[in-house]
Amino acid sequence: MDKIINEFNNYLINERNYSSFTVTNYDKDILSFNNYLKDKNINFLNIDKDIIRKYLVYLDILKMKNSSISRHISSLRTFYNFLKERNYIKSNAFLLIKSPKKEKKLPTFIYYNELEELFNSFNISNILDIRNKLIFELLYATGVRVSELVNIKLEDINKSEMTIKVLGKGNKERICFYGEYALDALNLYLNESRPKLLRNKTSDYLLINHIGGKLTDRGVRDIVKRVIKLTSIKSNVSPHTLRHTFATHLLNEGADLKTVQELLGHVSLSTTSIYTHVSNERLREVYLKSHPRKSEK
């Protein structure tokens, strides 16, 4: 099992371009399923639809949310697809299993006034703050995933056109755009911060950690948590929250859904459509506060 898991992890990282964070979640889901099978004396290479359905009932008994169960199914479907491709099994029983309906949960985002406070909280005489401000500027300006952000190389950046080439899920390339604020933060970082962080080392990657190596996605998550704690923002903010904020603000300012889909790198428009609900909630909030005949009282 361990040998196959290592092969699978290498496949996810090298062929599917998944982040280490995503790979870890896949491993947890696979381990959970394998532990269940061990208790039933079932070999993980010899399962069928009925076994999977019993496992899903088991997850439901554990009060697991539908969204988490769906993630389990997705992880295991990918894993068993891999096993079939490598001839460990003859067929993938998970292809016969439908995911449960997910609970509708609107993505969280940061309001304009909170963003102002956030971007004004950095001390630009500090080399780490200079880098951290660039992280926030790029996450908000481009809407990139954290795994895409940490893999940006210097050669991917076109400062004259203010674009960045990123490699998304499934090794799909796309071009992201950024504005003057992000450009200023980028120039300050490249001139004042990055050379000092490198400590006489060399790196192709844009973002460097405090010991001169490549910054990881986990490192970015930790930075975001630390920075948010220094502000008055009470909501739980992650790098993905900045991606949600990017999409929500674009729609609030009149961007069409298809454009936002392209900028986010979503394969399906239905994935992007969740942001219309966020935007509509914002419109409703403004309407209820502003319209003189919103109620009879």
Burial 152-178 (b: 16+ CB within 10 A, else e): beeebbeeeebebebbbbeeeebebeb
CA 143 to chain CA centroid, Å, is 10
What domains sit in the chain, N to C, each tagged with a CATH number?
Answer: 2-96 (1.10.150.130), 112-287 (1.10.443.10)
Which amino acid appears at position 40 of this protein?
A: K
Cα separation, 60 vs 71, whole angstroms: 13
Question: What pLDDT does 257 receive?
Answer: 85
Cα separation, 6 vs 4, whole angstroms: 5
- Is the CB of residue 26 less than 8 Å from the CB of residue 12? yes
Collapse the DSSP code of 22 into the 3-class scheme (helix H, G, I; strand E, B; otherwise coil) and give the result.
Answer: helix
Question: What pLDDT does 265 receive?
Answer: 87
Report H helices in 93-230: 112-119, 127-142, 146-150, 180-188, 194-198, 217-229
Question: What pLDDT does 85 receive?
Answer: 94
Instruction: Output the tens digit of pLDDT for each of the chain's 297 residues.
Output: 788 999 999 999 988 888 888 899 999 999 999 999 999 999 999 999 999 999 999 998 998 888 889 999 999 999 999 999 999 999 999 999 888 876 566 678 898 899 999 999 999 999 999 999 999 999 999 999 999 999 999 999 999 999 999 998 878 899 999 999 999 999 999 999 999 999 999 999 999 999 999 999 999 999 999 999 999 998 889 999 999 999 988 888 888 888 889 899 888 887 777 777 666 666 566 666 666 655 554
Cα separation, 137 vs 37, whole angstroms: 46
Considering only the C-alpha atoms of the chain, give the largest distance between any 2 of them, rounded to a whole number of Å.
70
Burial 13-24 (b: 16+ CB within 10 A, else e): eeeebbbeebbe
- Is the CB of residue 127 less than 8 Å from the CB of residue 197? yes
- Is the CB of residue 178 less than 8 Å from the CB of residue 142? yes
Question: What pLDDT does 57 receive?
Answer: 92
From residue 39, how far is each of 34, 35, 224 by CA, in Å? Answer: 9, 6, 40
Cα separation, 72 vs 62, whole angstroms: 14
- Is the CB of residue 1 less than 8 Å from the CB of residue 35? no
How wide is the angle at C-alpha 179 spanned by C-alphas 188 and 172, nearest 5°?
A: 100
Cα separation, 70 vs 101, whole angstroms: 8
Catalytic residues, by residue number, are 145, 169, 240, 243, 266, 275
Which amino acid appears at position 162 of this protein?
A: M
Question: What pLDDT does 219 receive?
Answer: 96
DSSP state of 98: P
